Amino acid sequence: MTSPFHSVDALPEKTLVPGITGKLVHTDGMTILHAFIEKDAVLPEHHHPHEQITNIISGELEMTIGGETKVCKPGDVITIASNVPHSARALTQVKVIDAFQPVREDYKKL
């Protein structure tokens, strides 16, 4: 049986888009992404069938979700429903923890 205990430090670093790297943990039904975003990095508008919940850990991230824009700060929790277009731009260096369901099979191929 796989150990239930993982350390972000020990996980391989994946590049998601230029300026955004992440560490990934998958279960049967969810993916957790610890993402590290450089200042001024941009996540272009995209959408996916997976539900997403973004938790801002540090920094300031301007997010646009379904046409609504907000500068998100630590303690903010952002919910993105299935297939809703979203984008982001880092105003500072940013750390987030994203939860997805179902599993991001596409991220397993990174």
Strand partners, 43: 88
Task: Supply the minimum distance, in Å, between the C-beta of residue 46 and a second copy.
Answer: 15
- DSSP secondary structure string for all residues of 51-72: EEEEEEEES-EEEEETTEEEEE
Closest-CA residue to 55 (of 84, 88, 6, 96):
96
Residues 5-64 that bind a second copy (CB under 8 A): 5-9, 25, 27-30, 32, 34, 51, 53, 55, 57, 63
Residues 61-90 that bind a second copy (CB under 8 A): 63, 65-66, 68, 70, 72, 75-82, 84
**Residue 33, SS3 per DSSP:** strand
Please report, as ranges, the residues that interact with a second copy according to CB under 8 A: 1-9, 25, 27-30, 32, 34, 51, 53, 55, 57, 63, 65-66, 68, 70, 72, 75-82, 84, 97, 99, 101
